[in-house]
Structure 1
Amino acid sequence: MFGSIVTAVSLRRCFYLSAVVLVLSTLMAAVIIVKLSPLESVKCQPHAVTPAVEWSTISNQQLESVTAVQADDNKKENNDKKYKEMREKIVQNKIARMSRKMRNKVLPLLSNNTIVEPNYNVHIFYYAWYRSLSYDRAWKHWNHAYLPNWKKNDKRVFPDGNHEPPADIGANYYPSLGCYSSMDPKVIDLHMKQLKEAGVGVVVVSWTPPTANDNTDSIMPDLLDTAHRYHLKIAPHIEPYAGRNPINLIEHIRHLFNKYGSHPALYRMKRQEDDTVLPVMYIYDSYVFPSTAWRELLSERGNLTLRGTEIDAIYIGLLVESQHRNHIKKSHFDGFYTYFAVNGFSHGSSWKNWKELNKFAIQNKLLFIPSLGPGYIDTQVRPWNSENTRHRRHGQYYEMAWRNVLNSGANIVSITSFNEWHEGTQIEPAKPASNKDFTYLDYEPEGPNFYLNLTKLWVDLFTKKHSNSNAKD
């Protein structure tokens, strides 16, 4: 019985223990589930949970984004505008400084009313090819055509056709006299008077024979007579007219001598070799003939020699490239000039080369006549040629050119030009003008006569320099 009691107690104790264990296990499991459930709820989500977004919010965000872009664009546009305005202001200030400098430095000198005598070692290129509707019943040269681009690979589109004077002319500047005729005696008289007062001595007149379409021979008598009244001299500048060759050139030179050879205004000078006094002839584009052809005309041993004949002269060839020095020498020219007013355009027109060219001339007993000008711009005739523009900078470009001539040692100088309006090299007075499509350049604020007055100043300095040099010698 005692054993039965013990067994019953043991069974009851096991039951209670099992019940306790079950309760404790259940409680522990519940605690674990409660602690783990938040972690598992996140880990088991297939995507990150994001708050719901309303369409109105998207629209507002897009609007804000667009507004931001527009603000950036406006800011850039404003910055560009401010930069442009700043650049324009800098340029205007620079121009104003140049103008003030020129007024302070040069204009007091220009107010000097001293009369200067013509210097026959100062030559200037002159063009008598302009014709007007009122005087000649037809336009010539003021209605110059736009020239085709010589750069075949340049695909830019430029204007073509002819200009329509008087409002629209083939030039970047507008003459104070308007679209005049070179045949008008009043114009010729004024031009010669202006040149005389500027101290220029020799007017190198662009010339083509009577057989040429655009000939200037018919105006030579009036030019010579008027130049003589003002104590000036005239030298022909023989242009490359159609069909020009050494054979017909002889005949055309003979024509010049027969008609004008005895005129007192025809410019003559001594030849260095034998002191013979002879007329002077400039030959433009002389290098297009081979030196062998020129040698036949200009060498004393040439089969067609002009030397020692009634049409012997001081013949001046054009030097463009460096190798033309040998061409000038082998051709037996008496000297050479450089013509172009564009510093850096060619070897001959580059100021830095003038000392060397003068040295070459001295070594070979040749005349060296460097050509300088007040600037260059021809975009109303060659609109594709802006790279060769040389801005006048209120006379500073002209000043640098003259200083380089003075430093070169050359004792004769040529000016390009009095009135080559197509290329913007003129020193003839210009005035402000415009049409509906174009505003012409001018000499303001210094005034229309500014470059005539500057020329007078520099001719005076050139004359004094060489007078002092001769006195020392």
Structure 2
Amino acid sequence: MKKIFILLLILLAFVSICPADTIGYLFRIRFESTSDWATLEFPDATTPVVPDPVVLDIDVVADSSEDGANIGVFYITRSDTAPVIVDYDCFLSAIPETGLVFNSQKGDWGNVHITFSNLNSEMPHCPNMEFENNGSIPDDPTNQRTFVVPHDFLTEDGPIVLPTDPWTTDRLILAFYYPWYGSPSGPTGYWRHWEPENHYASTHEPLLGYYDSYSPEVVSQHISWAKESGIDGFICSWWGPGTFEDGALDVIFSVADTSDFLISFYIETCGIDAFPESERLHQFIHHFNYLLANYRLHPAMFRIDGVPTLFLYNRPLSLMPLESWALLRDSLDYDAYIIADLLSLLVLDVFDGYHTYNPCSTPAAELAAKYNSASLAARYQHKLFAATILPGYCDTIIRDPGLTVDREDGAFYSSRFEIAAASEPNFILITSWNEWHEGTEIEPSVEYSYQYLDSTRSFHDRWDIPTSIEQKAPEMPTSPEIHIYPNPFNSSCIITIGDRCMRPATAEIYNLQGRLVAKGLPQTDPYKIVWIPDEKLCSGVYFIRVQTKNGRTTTKKVVYLK
């Protein structure tokens, strides 16, 4: 019974420390092409047993094309045949026994060279595997050739715990907020965005009536409702210096400051698309510096690690190439984190994180896979990921024919929350608090009353688990504090017991199956235990269980790279 208990303890510790999506096999695909277009696809990835490889990072090694290649996940397109080389770091939780099948497709021009490298160990024991797709195939415009990467090649030195570097933040819920409404009875003095002749351009009717965004009473009610429902802050739609939305910020920040509520910006910036491409970078720099100069020090400004944090909508993002956005980051007068509206790994090369604004049309299973992959890649690269949820969508009041995604009496909203929370994001974003034109609002309405605020409160209570648990100081620690160095290691590691009252101690080593593989380890002094693995042991994940003289235990994982 004691052995069974120990095994269960180890397995429980393993599950809590290592989520299932971080245990598997790491490899790199180098994709070299001189064709005008080339793609890779994994036909077995249609079943849950053989998922699509999760791409964790994309590195453009070389791009000699005249106008710059269009590069994405496993595709390269351009207008010439100059060499382009792209590296993809990939991860799979399981490899088929028959190997990983992939198809290479390309244009009639040029050639494709594909190299697989095993990254399960810093010193891989197996050489790279290379594949060629050259020339053309008669009567096949895709020139498809099928290849198989052997199971043993990809699993050599694995499985491993994926080496991630998560950016730890508080778990926050933020909602997109639209301060663009005006009414004749409010401070604005005229209708703005509400259109009385067209059902006020509003899919539903606000419980507050057709209000004015410049009204302190309206903003105060919004923030009060939001806080009661577990929302930590608003991301305010912002269209440039001197715009109507810009004019609403003083009221919003003033109310937020007295309400312990956070405010960020959604950079939408009107008018910049009218400028020549050569002038857009200067305009964007001016816009960002304007916001940061005026609000970066405000107590209500949303910050991460003390740095003001802004969100960038996809429309302005698309107005400049990523190289120009990188120049903007280097040219700002103030430090800022920027989270961009595009779940692309190339975006993470330039920005501090990513999100998507409107995933309403993405089926649930596809959205779950997309969010899980995006989150894992962000953790791998020490970047931020925010998962967006929404209650539904209906823009037929302002667009013809428009699009409708039914709210399903709240079921759609709940299902999107479950998907978002399961992906382990840094933040959950809500589209939206009050985008009444597109029917995504959760603000109380005549049709739904407080239904969606109540749901949001429930989401908050289930998701808002503290990232660190407050520790009280007991008279005696309940378990020994231990440190393992180095970890991972390849010859020996040292286990240091941190609590003097817990020494001396003994250590036992278990493998993933819970089998004891080493015990009676030598101690260099009362503080340290040394583990030198038997030469017969394979590389992999092991668990070190330390027991002190008073019977208290701690189990920690260690990665052995032979």
TM-score range, shorter chain: 0.5 to 0.7
CA contact (8 A) 1:128 1:219 kept: yes
Q: CA deviation at 1:229?
A: 1.6
Asked if the contact 1:120/1:201 (under 8 Å) is kept, the reply is: no
**1:246 Cα deviation after fit:** 2.2
Please, which of 229, 239, 246 is the counterpart of residue 217 of structure 1? 246
Alpha-carbon distance in 2 for matches of 1:260, 1:334: 20
Q: 1:234 aligns with which of 250, 263, 267?
A: 263
Q: Which residue of 438, 443, 451 maps to 1:423? A: 438
Q: Equivalent residues in 2 for 1:162-241 (5 A)? A: 164=197, 168-212=199-243, 215-241=244-270
Distance in 1 between residues matched to 2:192 and 2:470, nearest whole Å: 45
Partner of 1:151: none
- Answer yes or no: is the 8 Å Cα contact 1:172–1:421 preserved in 2: yes
Match for 1:243: what amino acid?
I
Hey, what's the Cα distance between the residues in 2 that align with 1:368 and 1:287?
20
Q: Does 1:305 align with 2:331?
A: yes
Distance in 1 of aligned mates of 2:246 and 2:425: 31
When normalised by structure 1's length, the TM-score is 0.59
Deviation of 1:420 after TM superposition, in Å, equals 0.5
Query: What's the TM-score, normalizing by structure 2?
Result: 0.50
> What is the CA deviation profile of residues 167-204 of structure 1, one whole-angstrom value per residue up to 9, with x for unaligned ones?
x2212211111110001111011001001111111210
- Which position in structure 1 is the counterpart of 2:459? 458
> Could you report, residue by residue, the CA deviation over 1:99-152 in whole angstroms, capped at 9, with x for unpaired residues?
xxxxxxxxxxxxxxxxxxxx7621110000001122223211112xxxxxxxxx
* Residue in 2 that maps onto 1:336: 354
Q: Secondary structure at the match of 1:237?
A: strand
Identity %: 29
Measure, in 2, the Cα distance between the counterparts of 1:404 and 1:412: 13
Q: 1:236 to 1:345 in 2, by over 3 A?
A: farther
Q: Hey, what does 1:371 align to over in structure 2?
A: 388
In structure 2, relative to structure 1, the CA distance for the partners of 1:417 and 1:122 (3 Å cut) is: same
CA contact (8 A) 2:201 2:397 kept: yes
Q: What's the counterpart of residue 252 of structure 1?
A: 287
Output the CA distance in 2 between the equivalents of 1:231 and 1:339: 25
Q: Distance in 2 between matches of 1:459 and 1:207?
A: 26
Contact 1:253 1:311 survives alignment (8 Å): no
Greater percentage in helix: 1
Determine which of 283, 289, 293 is the counterpart of 2:324.
293
**Could you say which residue in structure 2 is the equivalent of 1:137?**
189
Moved over 6 A (4+): 467-473
1:373 Cα deviation from its structure 2 partner: 0.6
Would you tell me which structure has more strand in proportion to its own residues?
2
| Inter-partner Cα distance in structure 1 for 2:224 and 2:359 | 24
Matched residue SS, 2:419: helix
Q: Report the Cα distance in structure 2 between the residues aligned to 1:191 and 1:210, rounded to whole angstroms.
A: 24
2:471, 2:405 → 1: CA distance? Answer: 34
Question: Please, which runs of 5 or more residues in structure 1 have no aligned partner?
Answer: 1-118, 144-162, 271-276, 299-303, 432-441
> Aligned-pair distance for 1:383?
2.9
Give the structure, 1 or 2, with the largest relative contact order (CA under 8 Å, sep 6 or more): 1
Which residue is 1:280 aligned to? 309
* Equivalent pair of 1:124/1:418 in contact (CA under 8 Å): yes
Relative to structure 1, the CA distance from residue 329 to residue 261 in structure 2 (aligned partners, 3 Å threshold; closer, same or farther) is closer
Cα-to-partner distance string for 1:44-63 (whole Å, 9 max, x where unaligned): xxxxxxxxxxxxxxxxxxxx
Describe the shift of the 1:470–1:284 C-alpha distance in structure 2 as closer, same or farther (beyond 3 A).
farther
Q: Measure the CA separation in 1 of the matches of 2:319 and 2:272.
A: 12
CA distance in structure 2 between the partners assigned to 1:341 and 1:134 by the alignment: 36
Contact 1:280 / 1:315 at 8 angstroms: preserved in 2?
A: yes
Distance 1:200 1:224, change over 3 A: same
Q: Which runs of 5+ in 2 are unaligned?
A: 1-169, 274-279, 473-554, 557-562
Distance change (3 Å), C-alpha of 1:120 and 1:205: farther
Q: Highest Rg: 1 or 2? A: 1
RMSD of equivalent CA atoms: 2.7
Cα displacement string for residues 248-305 of structure 1 (whole angstroms, at most 9, x for unaligned residues): 11112221122222210011112xxxxxx2001111122332111111122xxxxx53
Shift of 1:211: 4.1
